[in-house]
Structure 1
Amino acid sequence: MTLTLVKTLPKRGSVVEDYHKPERPKVAWPGGPAILSSIVIVEAILYLIYGDLKILSITLVTIIAGIIGLIDDRWRLKNGMIKPLLLILASLPILLLETYVPYPEFPIFGYVRLTMVYPLLVLLAVPIVSNATNMIDVLNGALSGFIVIATIPLVFALMLKGDYIMMVATLPLIASSIAFYFFHRYPSKIFPGDSGSLALGAMFCSIAIVGRVEIVAIVSILPAILNSFFILSSIKGFIEHRSIKTRPTILLPDGQLVASKDPSAPTTLVRMILADGPLSEREVVSNIFKLSAFSAFLAVITALVTWCV
């Protein structure tokens, strides 16, 4: 499916410039429909096999988030608050199908009762995580590779818990991200767009909630959460990224990236990585993956402490 979009999207003029290369090549966009369709097809088959409402729940969350992203891809939502508000809709299947348990399990302390607060946290979690994955999608291969690394601890945690149905239902997220990565890595042949980044983030979040591995997921996806926090705090609120006038990085003539010295530029994870000096795009993405791998390692430790100690 992704290969088909790589070939057909440019013919239809559906391309965007890759701003992090001197020649600014045109790249096929959006690849989200390929990601979304592959996930939905596999999850639908799994639902027919197992008949588990949790699978239906994460599938619906992913579909709704993907559609919202596709709307943004096509019609460019200009108000930065619209997208997070719309993403609240993506969290509704979890609540309506009652596929959540308001007792998250913490390492050492065990279960914590959050009966009244948990539904509100669900409504907030999907927009927060979806936007976090969207904001880390800035360089070739960063998003798809990050999702693969961040999701592995969830599979491990679900295996420890003995929830093999949810473990299997998580595999399409990894598989679709790996498949997309081969076209998304440097030099990118296709970009996921908001339809891809929001769908992947929403699915990750929904798996964490219905699979009851919330704490492991938070630790695993921490680099993306911190990146979004840095951005939002520096620009003081939700602003559509296309409307940000000062870029956090500067492209040098040799193709390397350097952190912007402009104090009005948003603080981002990439800008912080570049604080010590210029790096190539590949080197920056490699550093993002190293941070993600470290968080994933901590998430695995969190899972072991929670269910094996």
Structure 2
Amino acid sequence: MVERRHRNSQRGRFPTTDNPSLREIISFIIGSDDSALMLPSGWEVTTAILLAIVSFPVSLVLTRFFMQTNARRGIIGIDVHKLSKPRIPEMCGAAIPVTLILLSSAYVLIGGGNSITMLAFSLVVGSAAVVGAVDDRLKMRGIYKPLLTLLCGLPIVALGLLYPNQVYNPTLQVPLFGSFHLPIIYPLSGPVAISVTSNTTNMLDPLNGTMAGGVSIISAALLIGILITDPAPSAVFLYACLLFSALGFFYFNRYPSRAFAGNVGQLSVGAALGALAILSRTEIASIVAMFPNIQNSFFFLSKIKRFTEHRALTATPTRLLDDGRLASSSDPKAPLTLVRTLLVGRPAKESEIVSAIFALYLISAALALITMILIRR
């Protein structure tokens, strides 16, 4: 759990028993606490924010690198929502998980975070990125992504069992209703939550900048909420790092996009949101902040009634008009999505739809902030 910091004078010392436990081995490799380098408490939050800001230029440089590399390798997608059908480098969203893992490691090295918390976060994000990269290259069936991202949540459960009270707190805080201690249900629901956040984020990236911009809004709102209610340094760092990493990618992904995230970016970013909800105890607020994603997934599944890839659909939810505007599809087989509902009865430019989606995120973010304040009262 990110709020608690555990110090141990035995950090990094090899286990002296003949048969060291898994916990002792992990502690030897990474150190289960932060005694080697400790920051004065007054500087912890400031240091967390300053280091997290570094993730913006790192993400920016890495995105540019993936754009050039993937373009040379022919990893290209077609922007179907534009008349010119430009060819855009795919899988550039890999810059975000790489940045998150690099900066999390750096944060631990300067003594600013609980190494077990950072390990849990990095394993979740890294494994989701691997699932996304495999899907980008092999084009897996739709059912596999929810199942594989379910496994991505196991590191949090495993490390939570090995290190009680350092990874998650099984007490769920609900505004107006108080706290509910769920020692069995909570850890079991962790992988499910990460699978849900991964795939709902993956499903709401149809237009230029929607995923990166939406995640930036969510992260900013939850970061502000934590700073107001309970500024735990590790939680502040991880949310700020996600915010600036997403903004670095957004610079190239915004309309008109010069880089696409791919499943590697979408799934890993969604997994990061799910992991942070657990690690920072912002579960309910995260649900509220991600309402546009949840709404979009509900629309899609209520119509299609199964997990499937968009490329496998026989009809698309939108159609491109001769003047470059997007309109709602008239095909009865077309899936229902958030974008399609915004276009009902009124065609619009892509940039206008993106702005409308961002407005929905801002409303949800404001409600999430209110939720966090109510919980901490």
State the TM-score bracket (shorter-chain normalisation). Answer: over 0.9
Tell me the alpha carbon deviations over residues 182-209 of structure 1, each in whole angstroms, 9 at most, x when there is no partner: 1001111110000000010000110011
Paired residue for 2:136?
A: 73
Q: How far 1:168 sits from its partner (Å)?
A: 1.2
Q: Decide whether the 8 Å contact of 1:68 with 1:87 is kept in 2.
A: yes
Out of 159, 170, 176, the residue aligned to residue 97 of structure 1 is 159
Please tell me the residue identity of whatever aligns with 1:243: A
Q: How far 1:52 sits from its partner (Å)?
A: 3.4
Q: What does 1:72-221 align with in structure 2 at a 5 Å threshold?
A: 72-77=135-140, 79-98=141-160, 99-159=167-227, 160-221=229-290
Tell me the SS of whatever aligns to 1:167.
helix
Question: Percent identity at matched positions?
Answer: 38
Distance 2:147 2:195 in 1: 8
List runs of 5+ in structure 1 lacking aligned partners: none
Distance 2:119 2:345 in 1: 46
Q: How far 1:32 sits from its partner (Å)?
A: 2.6
Distance 2:186 2:294 in 1: 19
Please tell me the residue identity of whatever aligns with 2:95: A
| Bigger Rg, structure 1 or 2 | 2
Tell me the alpha carbon deviations over residues 16-57 of structure 1, each in whole angstroms, 9 at most, x when there is no partner: 100000111100011132222111110111122223322221
Q: How far 1:163 sits from its partner (Å)?
A: 1.5
Instruction: Give the structure-1-normalised TM-score.
Output: 0.97
Instruction: Give the structure-2-normalised TM-score.
Output: 0.79
Please tell me the residue identity of whatever aligns with 1:57: A
Tell me the SS of whatever aligns to 1:237.
coil
Distance 1:241 1:100 in 2: 35
Tell me the alpha carbon deviations over residues 144-185 of structure 1, each in whole angstroms, 9 at most, x when there is no partner: 000000112221232212322211122111111000001001
Out of 327, 332, 335, the residue aligned to residue 258 of structure 1 is 327
Q: How far 1:118 sits from its partner (Å)?
A: 1.3
Q: Decide whether the 8 Å contact of 1:31 with 1:191 is kept in 2.
A: yes
Paired residue for 2:121?
A: 58
List runs of 5+ in structure 2 lacking aligned partners: 1-61, 161-166
Q: Decide whether the 8 Å contact of 2:97 with 2:126 is kept in 1.
A: yes
Moved more, 245-254 or 162-171: 162-171
Tell me the alpha carbon deviations over residues 114-139 of structure 1, each in whole angstroms, 9 at most, x when there is no partner: 22211221121111110000000110
Paired residue for 1:3?
A: 64
Tell me the alpha carbon deviations over residues 243-283 of structure 1, each in whole angstroms, 9 at most, x when there is no partner: 01100000001110000122211110000010131000000
Moved more, 283-292 or 112-121: 112-121
Out of 102, 107, 120, the residue aligned to residue 41 of structure 1 is 102
Q: How far 1:210 sits from its partner (Å)?
A: 1.1
Paired residue for 1:237?
A: 306
Distance 1:184 1:211 in 2: 28
Tell me the SS of whatever aligns to 1:16.
strand
RMSD between aligned residues? 1.1
Tell me the SS of whatever aligns to 1:10.
helix
Tell me the SS of whatever aligns to 2:91.
coil
Tell me the SS of whatever aligns to 2:121.
helix
Q: How far 1:107 sits from its partner (Å)?
A: 0.9
Distance 1:127 1:184 in 2: 24
Q: Decide whether the 8 Å contact of 2:114 with 2:234 is kept in 1.
A: no
Tell me the SS of whatever aligns to 2:319.
strand
Q: How far 1:3 sits from its partner (Å)?
A: 1.1
Aligned residues: 307
Tell me the alpha carbon deviations over residues 220-247 of structure 1, each in whole angstroms, 9 at most, x when there is no partner: 0111011111111110111122101100
Please tell me the residue identity of whatever aligns with 1:210: L
Tell me the SS of whatever aligns to 1:250.
strand
Tell me the SS of whatever aligns to 2:188.
helix
Please tell me the residue identity of whatever aligns with 2:183: T
Q: How far 1:305 sits from its partner (Å)?
A: 1.2
Please tell me the residue identity of whatever aligns with 1:76: K
Paired residue for 2:365?
A: 296
Larger relative contact order (C-alpha < 8 A, sep ≥ 6)?
A: 1
Distance 2:196 2:75 in 1: 28
Distance 1:29 1:297 in 2: 32
Q: How far 1:93 sits from its partner (Å)?
A: 1.0
Please tell me the residue identity of whatever aligns with 1:93: P
Tell me the SS of whatever aligns to 1:200.
helix
Please tell me the residue identity of whatever aligns with 1:280: K
Distance 1:16 1:133 in 2: 19
